[in-house]
């Protein structure tokens, strides 16, 4: 089949692996000009399981999970196109039966735990985690592959009654008992892989797969320290905890493994955020003091003021006319307002002329208008000027006249 072109796009170059379920080829994507891995369903394989694997791979996108590029059918055979990982498998590195270097073991453990955390956070359980399903890219990064028997949350299983799925050497006790697999089941399989990387051997060994299954179900695993005393303490503790028979006694999922290994927490894709529309720029202006209110004189007060001035002027003329011959004329004008006050001052000047028989007094009145700004206090201005005048004639008495207009009162006493 080499050099054949699948779906008019992928040219097969060489066969990588062959199994009962599928055959894997190194191929060339003729449209994107890149190397890929093409997995072609075997003639006798279950297409449901193959489709399940494609859907599981399409649901994941993580640096430690094999990436799915394409899915389709060619000549009646379903196929998947995956990223080509040229670094081989973890099984290849463990085949000689010796422990891996501790630094390499820790790095691989963190990569696998991160990939599991990503799958578990999306409700997907691998159910067949083993070294043959851990592949490496050109940079040595470990990636989980082959989700063929994976179970997604809420989906039915591919396990018939009494049938166990998963490789016997890495199967969890609950799977061995025919119970549903959970994220803790993947943690158990991770513990077997970590145990083998630290010690170079499996926790249980037997010639028959069914014997292995029974040992995983019933026999306690040996602690890592009994096989390798110089193993890193933290890695040994994680392996021992992951191999607990009771699922509730293990780290619950891949996120717990990542935290125990000191790796970063698993990342999740953030939902698309709708940013609010930016507000229109607001001009910053200086604080301006409110304009001063102009001094306003109400019309009724102005009328009262003018009337008061007229009365005062008339009174002054009356004083000048009637005060002829008086001895001590006194003029007092007082104007009082609330809030707005206008003061009117009447200054009276008397000129005296004396003779032996009569006395003539001439009084000249000058009126000055003074306007002040509005205040909140009362102001009363009364200026009185009195000049004595001597006379030898009788003084007529004239009654005091009082005139009140509005709120202005002018009083002119005339002797």
> Facing residues of 76 across strands?
none
Answer yes or no: 128 catalytic. Answer: yes
Tokens describing residue 197: 């990387």
Closest CA to 20 of 43, 53, 51: 43
The count of other CB atoms within 10 Å of the CB of residue 243 is: 27
> Exactly one of 111, 128, 240, 253 is catalytic; which is it?
128
Distance separating alpha carbons of residues 202 and 192, to the nearest angstrom = 7
Q: Which residues are catalytic?
A: 128
């Amino acid at each position: 089949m080499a050099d054949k072109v699948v779906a008019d796009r992928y040219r097969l170059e060489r066969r990588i692996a062959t199994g009962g379920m599928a055959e894997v080829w190194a191929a060339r994507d003729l449209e994107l000009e890149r190397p890929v891995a093409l997995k072609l369903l075997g003639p006798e394989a279950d297409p449901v399981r193959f489709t399940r694997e494609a859907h599981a791979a399409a649901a994941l996108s993580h640096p430690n999970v094999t990436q799915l590029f394409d899915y389709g059918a060619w000549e009646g055979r379903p196929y998947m196109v995956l990223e080509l990982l040229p670094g081989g498998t973890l099984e290849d590195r463990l085949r000689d039966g010796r422990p891996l270097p501790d630094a390499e073991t820790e790095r691989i453990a963190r990569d696998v735990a991160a990939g599991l955390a990503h799958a578990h956070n999306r409700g997907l359980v691998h159910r067949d985690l083993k070294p043959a399903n851990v592949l490496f890219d050109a940079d040595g990064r470990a990636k989980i592959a082959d989700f063929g028997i994976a179970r997604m949350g809420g989906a039915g299983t591919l396990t018939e009654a009494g049938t166990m799925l998963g490789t016997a050497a890495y199967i969890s006790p609950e799977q061995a008992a025919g119970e549903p697999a959970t994220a803790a089941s993947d943690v158990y399989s991770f513990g077997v892989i970590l145990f083998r990387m630290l010690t170079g051997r499996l926790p249980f060994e037997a010639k028959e797969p069914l014997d292995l299954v029974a040992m995983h179900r019933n026999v306690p695993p040996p602690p890592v320290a009994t096989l390798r005393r110089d193993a890193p303490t933290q890695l040994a503790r994680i392996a021992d905890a992951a191999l607990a028979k009771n699922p509730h006694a293990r780290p619950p999922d891949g996120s717990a493994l990542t935290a125990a290994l000191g790796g970063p927490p698993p990342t999740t894709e953030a939902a698309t955020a709708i940013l609010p529309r930016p507000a229109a720029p607001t001009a910053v202006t200086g604080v301006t003091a409110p304009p001063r209110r102009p001094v306003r004189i109400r019309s009724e007060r102005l009328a009262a003021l003018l009337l008061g001035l007229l009365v005062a002027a008339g009174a002054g003329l009356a004083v000048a006319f009637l005060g002829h011959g008086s001895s001590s004329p006194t003029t007092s004008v007082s104007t009082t307002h609330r809030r707005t006050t206008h003061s009117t001052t009447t200054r009276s000047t008397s000129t005296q002329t004396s003779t032996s028989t009569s006395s003539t007094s001439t009084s000249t009145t000058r009126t000055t208008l003074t306007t002040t700004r509005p205040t909140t206090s009362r102001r009363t201005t009364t200026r009185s000027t009195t000049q004595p005048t001597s006379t030898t004639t009788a003084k007529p008495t004239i009654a005091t006249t009082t005139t009140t207009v509005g709120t202005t009162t002018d009083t002119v006493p005339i002797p």
